[in-house]
Chain A
Amino acid sequence: MIALLARLGLKPRPLTLKLIRMLGSMRLQVLAVSLVVTAGTAVHVMMNGVVNSLFITRDTYYAEAMMAHLWAPAVRIPGGIVETLARHPGVARAEPRIAAAAILDMPGETAPVKARVISLPEGRQPFINRLHLTGGHLPDAHTDDLVIADEFAEAHGLKPGDTIEAVLYGAKKRFRITGTALSAEFIYAIPPGELIPDPRRFAVFWMPERAVSRAFKMEGAYNEILFRLMPGAMEADVKAAADRLLLPYGGGNTYGRDTQLSNQFIESEFQQLNVTGGIIPPIFMGVAAYLLNIVVSRITDQERGQIGLMKAFGYTDAAIARHYLIFAYAMVALGVAAGFIVGTRMGGGLAEIYRAYYQFPSLEFTAGLPVYLQGLGLAFLAATVGVFIAMRRVIALRPAVAMSPPAPTDYSHLRLDSPLFARLDQGLRLILRHLVRWPVRSALTCLGIALGMTIMVAAHSMFDGVNFMMQLQFQSLNRQDVTVGFIEDQGEGIVHEMAALPGVQRVEPFYAAPAILKAGTYERALSLTGRWPDTKLSLMENEAGEAVPVPPHGLAISASLSERLQVGVGDTIHVEFRTGARKRVDLPVVHIFTTYIGLSALIDHNELAALTGLGPRVSGVHLEVDPARMDDLYAALKKAPKVAAVTSNANAYAVMRAMMDENLNTMNLFNTAFASLIAFGVVFSSARISFAERVREIATLRVLGFSRADVNLVLLGELGILIFLALPLGGFMGRQLAGMLAAKMSSELFRVPEVTAPWTYGYATLIIVIAAAISGWMVMKQVRTLDLVSALKYSD
């Protein structure tokens, strides 16, 4: 470096030369600090950059697509109502459409594929929720051709001109595809009740209004109105007006983007990324500040004579501090630069993962200047804090004192005369006295190592939590093989029809009655689920793992709903039904059960039948099926006219499992790398500092006849103790952080259970111990090559 500067004809100042040599002579520690800064900056850029990218991409997409602000579904809306609502203050445009469930019979899929069919205005793009065509063209208004969701087309290798077989309102027909498209309201395309997009088994398609209304017998009517609002319009006001006007037509549960399924998932993702991006980088930077602190402490201790000399020459304290600050900045700059590159690449990789699950016209990773500047600021703040704390002591010394050799470290207050201590050998005494002589440093080292463990445990607990949730939801509680939803609510006779289908061993019906649930100032639109007694397939349990029955009177609600409405057992929920007689009743909360997916309220089906005034109705059934006859059942369901949706529990589990496995490995790799970096950085730097500080002691021990192993034990025993203490501390902190992350990441859609599997602690411990062992080994190498003669002389 110096030679290079000379060749370039540059004559650096003496202090600059000293700085360059310092960086060179401490390259391993420079590397350790830089790597930790790299990790922190990279995570910061990646997480916050992805949030930025998603945010900008989503908002741009929403703006271009004229994404709806409100959705007002109903059963059957006469056309005239739309005009009335369009004139309501604050409404920029109201557009009606028909949206309904359908099933597709796709080659290669034994199970019927769930689909959502949406009407297109005659011969044109809708004004609201415009489609982004990715191939072909919109269908002609007078045909029953269709445009199909791009990801579904890709998953099945479909292209414009191909045909698909769909069952619309019980009638099976073959339709021609004219184009493929993306829709802003299906960026995260899942049917209600599911969590992970499965483009092979869920389709959205758009057909001319005339064809849809004919198929669903909706001529002259609609079942949904979309609203675009004026800037500054009161959303709640429009929502109330829509609810009021649509109530007689089976409406009354208008919702905004906050509960629009796709948007809700995107928001939830922002929330998760923001939480991770807000918590993890500061941990890294805290560790970096600590490492810089001990590195600079060591240098200033070693160079106290030189500092004294510089002071004697007339250098000001500020000039000396600046010198070491630049040294720290140089280390941080290396880390930040690498962090920007790594973070941008990792962000690109993360965006790639998001592209697989989120259907945007394009999603490019663009972190944006503020994110990079924040990363830079965070790292340099850490460096400044670390250096100033380190320099306080040395700067305070008078030149003459600084230039004379330091007095022996004072241990006089650490006599530790207890009989127990007296039994220890001298090596152990040295270790213990050294530990307690610098309690803050020992505690910080311990904390630093513990933070490595914390990151591993917390990150892994998220996966443990999801695994636990999947086990509970898919295997323990929901034991049905297949759930069938009907195009409209059926009478109880459907149960016998279903039981007669091939392979069906057990049928458990349920009825979902749309309602608004209110408690105090809290409210939530939700379907009350009527359950028949003695269910064996779909079960509930409370937090203690005890079975929760559906009460004969009153409600059993999920813990998530109880939190949302702020009610507990014994409280009352005001229920406004949006079906049947549209009764308003107060129902007591009798049980609270645990569920990690969505919100849920259960009621006895007889009570529900009485309350709605509709008698016993069935919206769907859970089926237990003979596995050998599953294909026969699917074949029968594809032909069944009343079936709107078929969900296989095993498929839903497999899709989620596949996503988990795919992301688990990547995330595991990152977390392991990051945690190892922290552990390695802290242990190596601490061991290296300890070695530098105690090199005379080590040399003395060697001269007195202690073997290298003895000396290594004295040197590394202290770190061993700190690691031993750090592991349970890190485990505990990891659990706490996991709890905090779980709470902050939980949304209405799902909650992450606070679970940490025992092997997570084991794995984290193993990684920390390996990282520590590697850094220990590197320091032991220095003991092996220690020059005893020069180590025993004071040098300054």
Chain B
Amino acid sequence: MTRRERAPCFEIGGLTKIYGEGEAAVAALRGIDLTIGDGELVVLLGPSGSGKSTFLNILGGLDAPSAGHVRFHGADITKFDDRDLTRWRRDSVGFIFQSYNLMPGLTADENVRLVTEIAADPMPVSEALEAVGLAKRGKHFPSELSGGEQQRVAIARAIAKRPKVLLCDEPTGALDSATSRRVLEVLVDVARREQATVIMVTHHQGIAPIADRVIRFRDGQVEEDVRNDNPLTTAEITL
């Protein structure tokens, strides 16, 4: 199967999200139709308020749409109840946030173990930390790690369950350019290795060339959907 012929991971149709009611209603998403293939690395670009984070949150089951469907390998996750969503997030989705969201009361090692203890087929904790280059920092608490290191622990925690999907919301938003490059390198590297579908929200144009596909959002709609048959490595991009 070529890159163009990937099996569908997400099939999204008529996805709409409206916040508020009546005159105060704001449409964050206005009927998005998209299909995202397995193993694709997708970068979502767009200005603030364009709806890209809302889109990501709905894909991750953190938010519910007002209308439309999101099929993940055929199953409509918008129909999932809380128990199904919990199981789905536990087994299939890895999240990476701009603000890391590590547990301050657990060491790096333990933050990863938090996930490996409940996932169906996790990788060893050491392997996950090794993959992000932090094998020797496992005993440190988040307060003892730099921002880049904390984000790499978050990546290790996300990939340790061998997720089918990695959802990343501004993963380098709080980092300087050198650290951002290192984090992206790790992220792309492990995602490719694990053949995970990666959907990354960013407002940083410079990141786009590493993606298989770049989707641009504006006013809650897809403004542009561009496929990239020759993605660059993180070393080749300008941040």
Contacts and interface: CB of A to CB of B under 8 A. Distances in A.
B20 to A, nearest CB: 14
Interface string A395-437: 0000000000101111110110000000001100110011001
A410 B90 contact: no
B104 A792 contact: no
B101 A411 contact: no
B142 to A, nearest CB: 4
Nearest to A425: B117
A408 B99 contact: no
Interface string A196-225: 000000000000000000000000000000
A792 B53 CA distance: 12
B86 A705 contact: yes
B212 interface: no
Contact of A704 (B57, B90, B139, B141): B90
A700 B83 CA distance: 16
Contacts of A415: 107, 139, 141
Given A426-B117, A703-B60, A707-B83, A412 B101 contact: no
Nearest to A406: B104
Interface stretch (B6-14, B108-116, B180-188, B222-230): B108-116
B215 interface: no
A430 B117 contact: no
A706 B161 CA distance: 13
B157 interface: yes
A409 B83 CA distance: 31
B236 interface: no
Contacts of A749: none
Given A704-B95, A789-B57, A426 B89 contact: no
Contacts of A702: 86, 89
A708 interface: yes
B62 interface: yes
Contact of B95 (A414, A697, A703, A793): A703
B101 A792 contact: yes
A399 B62 CA distance: 34
Given A409-B105, A410-B143, A703-B60, A793 B99 contact: yes
Contact of A411 (B83, B86, B143): B143
Contacts of B161: 705
A430 B110 CA distance: 10
B86 A706 contact: yes
Nearest to B118: A705
A788 B143 contact: no
A702 to B, nearest CB: 7
B82 interface: yes
Contact of A433 (B105, B117, B118, B139): B105
Contact of B63 (A414, A710, A789): A789
Contacts of B86: 702, 705-708
A323 to B, nearest CB: 29
A430 B106 contact: yes
A426 B111 CA distance: 8
B106 A426 contact: yes
A700 B143 contact: no
B102 A408 contact: yes
Nearest to B150: A408
B91 interface: yes
B82 A708 contact: yes
B144 interface: yes
A407 B119 contact: no
A93 interface: no
A794 interface: yes
B101 A696 contact: yes
B97 interface: yes
Contacts of A792: 62, 97, 99, 101
A704 B117 contact: no
Interface residues on A, range: 20 to 34
B114 A704 contact: yes
B3 interface: no
Interface string A685-722: 00000000000110111111111101000000000000
A732 to B, nearest CB: 30
Contacts of B136: none
Given A412-B143, A705-B91, A705-B118, A700 B104 contact: no
B87 interface: yes
Nearest to A431: B105
A409 B117 contact: no
A674 B91 CA distance: 47
Contacts of A707: 83, 86
A408 B157 contact: no
Contact of A429 (B104, B110, B115, B139): B110
A411 B150 CA distance: 15
B101 A705 contact: no
Contacts of B115: 704-705
B99 A703 contact: no
Contacts of B63: 788-789
Nearest to B158: A704
Given A704-B115, A705-B90, A408 B143 contact: yes
B110 A704 contact: no
Given A408-B142, A425-B117, A703-B62, A794 B99 contact: yes
A426 B62 contact: no
A411 B104 contact: yes
Contacts of A410: 104, 141, 143-144
A789 B56 CA distance: 11
A411 B105 contact: yes
Interface string B145-168: 000001000000100010000000
A426 B83 contact: no
Most buried by B among A408, A429, A434, A706: A408
Interface in A772-796: 788-789, 792-794
B83 to A, nearest CB: 7
Interface in A538-577: none
Given A697-B103, A705-B119, A407 B91 contact: no
Contacts of A430: 103, 105-106
Contacts of B57: 789
Interface string B110-134: 1001110111000000000000000
A411 B145 CA distance: 12
B124 to A, nearest CB: 16
B62 A412 contact: no
B89 A704 contact: yes
Contact of B113 (A426, A433, A437): A426
Contact of A705 (B87, B102, B110): B87
Contacts of B139: 415
A789 B169 CA distance: 11
Interface in A123-161: none
Contacts of B105: 409, 411, 414, 429-430, 433-434, 437, 697
Nearest to A711: B86
B104 to A, nearest CB: 4
Interface in B21-60: 57, 60
5 A-B pairs with the lowest CB-CB distances in the bound complex, closest first:
A705-B90, A408-B104, A410-B143, A433-B105, A408-B142
5 contacts: A414-B105, A429-B105, A429-B110, A430-B106, A703-B101
Given A405-B99, A409-B104, A706-B90, 13 more contacts: A407-B143, A410-B144, A412-B140, A414-B105, A415-B107, A426-B110, A433-B105, A697-B105, A700-B102, A705-B93, A706-B86, A707-B83, A789-B57
